[in-house]
Amino acid sequence: MASKPEVRLTDQQRFDWLRLVRSENVGPRTFRALVTNFGGARAALNALPGLARRGGASREIRVASVEEIEKELIAARKLGVRFIALGEPDYPPALWQIDSAPPVLALRGHAEALHKAAVAIVGSRNASAAGLTFAERLARGLGQAGYVIVSGLARGIDQRAHLASLETGAVGVLAGGHGKPYPGDAVPLMERMVESGAILSEMPIEWEPRGRDFPRRNRIVSGLALGVVVVEAARGSGSLITARFALDQNRQVFAVPGSPLDPRAEGTNDLLKQGASICTGPDDVLTALEPVRSSDDLAALREAGGEPGEPLWGEQALYGVDPESTPRTQPGDEFEDMSGAPYRSGGEAQAARERIIALLGPSPITLDELARAAEAPARAVRVALLELELAGRVEYSGDRVALRAIAD
Amino acid sequence: MASKPEVRLTDQQRFDWLRLVRSENVGPRTFRALVTNFGGARAALNALPGLARRGGASREIRVASVEEIEKELIAARKLGVRFIALGEPDYPPALWQIDSAPPVLALRGHAEALHKAAVAIVGSRNASAAGLTFAERLARGLGQAGYVIVSGLARGIDQRAHLASLETGAVGVLAGGHGKPYPGDAVPLMERMVESGAILSEMPIEWEPRGRDFPRRNRIVSGLALGVVVVEAARGSGSLITARFALDQNRQVFAVPGSPLDPRAEGTNDLLKQGASICTGPDDVLTALEPVRSSDDLAALREAGGEPGEPLWGEQALYGVDPESTPRTQPGDEFEDMSGAPYRSGGEAQAARERIIALLGPSPITLDELARAAEAPARAVRVALLELELAGRVEYSGDRVALRAIAD
């Protein structure tokens, strides 16, 4: 396969990416919109305060400080953590494909483990003995067949799957930062995992994980994998969220059947009713995934990207954006607000913003519906939404957007 | 619904049907071919010896004697058993639809139970506690929803399903005769079942069931039902044979999931992989069967049949055969061999028989393939096969026929 020149961020760009991604109200979607609109993280950082203000923020948006990021970099070095930006060669190609791919991943361990075909194995924390044994056999069988096993480091099924794949490739995803490894009892396991596998986090190094970080993390677990196997899951459990993400990400979902009288099988049996593939052993997964694994999709993805040495073009190229088709600043451009070229706001965007606020309600509607109803140019809608999002006034779920009940 | 005149056999016809069905090498398929070809059982009985001889039987075919049938009728009366011929009003309409519907059923209990929509629940003899509990809940739930529960009276899942449906409608099918109820430990259960439900058998009253009678019996269990639920089944178990019959009979197959580590779930999990519907409770079955149950198919079937008082026409009509289109004897016709009218054999059939013998081998081929290869008129092929079957030289599996390795 012809190898294309690789896109890597400069140290300064990486620093700016971290600052941008650690700033208030900047999620993966907003990050992408900012970088593609402004041509790079530096310009976006400069634009942030003005954007949020014009979106109606009740107070100044919190932009991550240089000191904060310097501190994180020092902590990372101590822990052996390095940062990979979306689109860089080390970034896991499968994860790159998902809508809300983290702009920056903090990695402990070996990036090679992120480039082999992977299967996620997830399940209950309070797993049954049979569930644990099954998870172990499955992880071992898939590992021997060349798959890396991804999971969420939780007690029960997750940890058993990690343990059984230590020698063949184990990847864990934290809900918090590397400096606050959770759960604590998994620390010795994590130390063994990084010897040949990897631990990933998208959160600031010293981030203590809260409840809502776990479902968010689960999109990375499924996004890293070609398929997700749910071994045991009660109704409403986190493993089902992972399965839901997997479906949204066009990953294959497998469920392990169980007795209808076992509450730990209710979730997996439900998945089977909803069309998940039944998994009673590694062969079911191998048979189903072999065509995906052998396709050139992942390889093709690696071929994308722009030329090195053109930092701003490069930053857009990481997202697969053609810089010629995107209004962007020139290298070195800095501006305090959005009134100047090349980002033209003013009356058009202002009008769009007001129409959008009037159109939005607490029920999510699709961006398409919104754009049609707003009768404004697509770019004006995009910018207005970006401003509103940075101001914390709208929130997304998938490709739907709604007014935030209470701005926080 | 307009009620059509019902077809009932006269006592003499019923006697002849029993004699014919109890004669050597006369299975449901041959029985049907004989009655439709000869217009009635009496004529078929007279023709049997000649047919078998011309088919190449090595010895005289055993035709059930008048004494034998008289004895069976006396035994039946003592046990409270009565006989229902295929197509008579009491015959279970769902069973009538299957290819190998028993020409005569021996019934203990209430025919009404055979006319309500039914679900078969089958499974392991050495069931798990969870499997038994599930079978009980399922039978109770489906019973309360108005379904009769059919099963095979075996220890484990079968008996538990019967027990849980005693009050709502329980139907059991014996592998042997009513005079040799098997398994013996189910006799008290059977006594309770006949109070409002039914026990059926197609075998002679005093028949001691042998191994091969059980799979054969299973086609009746599935044939009586709109759907079959397999609760627990090891690989290669009898419940899977019932599921196979159900598929062949266009019945819906449900399987209860179980842990991949439980050998009793291997069969049901395999069924799920092959496309069976997952069943974790009565609702899954109710939802799937409601459209079938509410259709008029069964009612329409009941409307079929000829006029009473025309015995031979009536016997054909029970099979839905138009007597005008079928060569048949006249009422009262009797003949010793097949050389005379109206059944014309001779050179044409003889030639067909020889070609067929030459074409057949130990591997089953379809009747269509055989008829094409034989290049003989369809009727000649049919008669030749009938003769060969009565001579014990060919055997059927589904719609395929093969030479019997060793005539028995």
Q: Is the pLDDT of residue A318 over 90?
A: no
CB contact under 8 A, A258 and B259: yes
- Amino acid identity of residue A260, one-letter, is P
Nearest to A259 among B130, B266, B273 (CB): B130
Structure tokens at B398: 């589904």
Nearest to B272 among A260, A262, A278 (CB): A278
Query: Is A102 an 8 Å CB contact of chain B?
Result: no
Q: Give the lowest-confidence range in A144-158, B78-92, B350-364.
A: B350-364
Task: Identify the residue among A157, A235, A259 best suited for mutation to test binding to B, counting B beta carbons within 10 A and taking the highest.
Answer: A259
Q: Is the pLDDT of residue B253 over 90?
A: yes
Query: Is B75 an 8 Å CB contact of chain A?
Result: no
Residue A108 DSSP SS3? strand
Query: Is A284 an 8 Å CB contact of chain B?
Result: yes
Helix ranges (DSSP H) in A6-121? 11-21, 28-38, 41-54, 66-79, 93-96
Structure tokens at B319: 């099979």
**pLDDT for position B36:** 86
B33-59 core/surface letters (b: 16 or more CB in 10 A; e: else): bbbbbbbbbbbbbbbbbbbbbbbebee
CA A253 – CA A233 distance, rounded (Å) = 13
Which residues have a Cβ under 8 Å from the Cβ of B314 and sit 6 or more positions away? B7, B8, B9, B13, B306, B307, B308
**pLDDT for position A408:** 45
E strand segments, A288-399: 365-366, 394-397
- Are the C-beta atoms of A293 and A252 separated by less than 8 Å? no
Query: Is B187 an 8 Å CB contact of chain A?
Result: no
CA A202 – CA A217 distance, rounded (Å) = 8
How long a stretch of residues is chain A? 408
CA B21 – CA B84 distance, rounded (Å) = 13
More confident residue, B217 or B408: B217
Question: Residue B343 — very low, low, confident or very high, per pLDDT cuts 50/70/90?
Answer: very low
Q: Give the lowest-confidence range in A268-277, A396-405, B161-170.
A: A396-405
Nearest to A280 among B269, B278, B284 (CB): B269
Question: Residue A88 — very low, low, confident or very high, per pLDDT cuts 50/70/90?
Answer: very high
Query: Is A24 an 8 Å CB contact of chain B?
Result: no
Q: Is the pLDDT of residue A252 over 70?
A: yes
- Are the C-beta atoms of A189 and A81 separated by less than 8 Å? no
Q: CA nearest B263 in A: which residue?
A: A280
More confident residue, A199 or A297: A199
Q: Is the pLDDT of residue A79 over 80?
A: yes
Query: Is A273 an 8 Å CB contact of chain B?
Result: yes
Write out chain A residues lying below 8 Å of B229, CB-based. Answer: none
Tell me: the pLDDT tens digits for B254-284? 999 999 999 999 999 999 999 999 999 999 9
How far, rounded to the nearest angstrom, does the alpha carbon of residue A121 sit from its chain's CA centroid?
18
Question: Residue B208 — very low, low, confident or very high, per pLDDT cuts 50/70/90?
Answer: very high
Write out chain A residues lying below 8 Å of B257, CB-based. Answer: 257-260, 265, 269, 272, 278
Nearest to B269 among A131, A133, A257 (CB): A257
**pLDDT for position A407:** 46
**pLDDT for position B331:** 36
| Dihedral of the alpha carbons of B340, B344, B346, B350, in degrees to the nearest 10 | -140
Task: Identify the residue among B280, B283, B284, B285 best suited for mutation to test binding to A, counting A beta carbons within 10 A and taking the highest.
Answer: B280
Task: Identify the residue among B128, B261, B266, B277 best suited for mutation to test binding to A, counting A beta carbons within 10 A and taking the highest.
Answer: B261
CB contact under 8 A, A269 and B280: yes
Residue A106 DSSP SS3? strand
| Dihedral of the alpha carbons of A13, A15, A16, A20, in degrees to the nearest 10 | 140
Write out chain B residues lying below 8 Å of A260, CB-based. Answer: 134, 256-257, 279-281
DSSP of A211-244:
TTHHHHHHHHHHHT-SEEEE----TT-HHHHHHH
| Dihedral of the alpha carbons of B306, B309, B311, B314, in degrees to the nearest 10 | 10
Give the closest-approach CA distance of B261 to chain A in angstroms: 7
CB contact under 8 A, A257 and B262: no
Mean pLDDT confidence for B142-166 = 97
CB contact under 8 A, B259 and A130: yes
Q: Is the pLDDT of residue A145 over 70?
A: yes
Question: Mean pLDDT of all residues in chain A?
Answer: 87
Q: Is the pLDDT of residue A378 over 80?
A: no
Tell me: the pLDDT tens digits for A273-310? 999 999 999 999 999 999 888 765 555 444 443 333 34
- Are the C-beta atoms of B122 and B228 separated by less than 8 Å? yes
Structure tokens at A381: 């809608």
Q: Is the peptide bond before A183 cis (omega within 30 degrees of 0)?
A: yes
Of B16, B173, B158, residue with least CA distance to B94 = B173
Q: CA nearest B266 in A: which residue?
A: A280
**pLDDT for position B296:** 53
Write out chain A residues lying below 8 Å of B130, CB-based. Answer: 259, 261-262
What is the dihedral sign for C-alpha A92, A97, A98, A104? positive
Task: Identify the residue among A124, A273, A274, A278 best suited for mutation to test binding to B, counting B beta carbons within 10 A and taking the highest.
Answer: A278
Q: What share of chain B has pLDDT > 90, as a percent?
A: 65
- Phi and psi at residue A198, to the nearest 5°: -155, 150
- Amino acid identity of residue A68, one-letter, is E
- Are the C-beta atoms of A95 and A223 separated by less than 8 Å? yes
Which residues have a Cβ under 8 Å from the Cβ of B39 and sit 6 or more positions away? B312, B313, B315, B316, B323, B326, B328, B329, B330
CA A371 – CA B30 distance, rounded (Å) = 72
Residue A201 DSSP SS3? strand
CA separation (Å) from A125 to A28, A122, A153, A262, A264? 29, 9, 10, 15, 10
Write out chain A residues lying below 8 Å of B272, CB-based. Answer: 257, 272, 278
Q: Is the pLDDT of residue A4 over 50?
A: no
CA A289 – CA A294 distance, rounded (Å) = 9
Q: Is the pLDDT of residue B330 over 70?
A: no
**pLDDT for position B56:** 87
DSSP of B188-209:
HHHHHHHHHSEEEE-S-TTPPP
CA B137 – CA B256 distance, rounded (Å) = 13
**pLDDT for position A107:** 98
Write out chain A residues lying below 8 Å of B134, CB-based. Answer: 259-261
Tell me: the pLDDT tens digits for B376-401? 777 788 888 889 989 989 888 777 88
Residue A97 DSSP SS3? coil
Q: Give the lowest-confidence range in A88-97, A395-404, B131-140, B294-303.
A: B294-303
Q: What share of chain A has pLDDT > 90, as a percent?
A: 65
Q: What share of chain A has pLDDT > 70, as a percent?
A: 86
CA separation (Å) from B243 to A218, B253, B286, B364? 39, 6, 18, 22
Q: CA nearest A254 in B: which residue?
A: B273
**pLDDT for position A46:** 95
The helices-and-strands tally (H runs, E runs) of chain B is 17, 12
Query: Is B283 an 8 Å CB contact of chain A?
Result: no
User: Which residue(s) pair with A109 in the sheet?
Assistant: A198
Structure tokens at B91: 């015959």
Structure tokens at A117: 């075909």
- Are the C-beta atoms of B378 and B371 separated by less than 8 Å? yes
Write out chain B residues lying below 8 Å of A259, CB-based. Answer: 130-131, 134, 256-259, 262, 265
Structure tokens at A309: 């040495």
Out of A312-326, B161-175, B333-347, the most confident range is: B161-175
Q: Is the pLDDT of residue A344 over 50?
A: no
Residue B109's H or E segment, with its range, is strand B104-109
Report the relative pairing of strands A365-366 and A400-403 from DSSP bridges: antiparallel
Q: In what order do the strands lie in the sheet with B170-173?
A: B81-85, B104-109, B198-201, B170-173, B148-151, B118-122, B227-230, B252-255, B277-278
Q: CA nearest A129 in B: which residue?
A: B261
A to B CB pairs, distance under 8 Å: 64
Residue B171's H or E segment, with its range, is strand B170-173
Nearest to A258 among B257, B281, B284 (CB): B257
Nearest to A256 among B134, B260, B280 (CB): B260
Query: Is A283 an 8 Å CB contact of chain B?
Result: no
- Phi and psi at residue B280, to the nearest 5°: -115, 10
**pLDDT for position B326:** 52
Q: Is the pLDDT of residue A156 over 90?
A: yes
Task: Identify the residue among B278, B284, B287 best suited for mutation to test binding to A, counting A beta carbons within 10 A and taking the highest.
Answer: B278
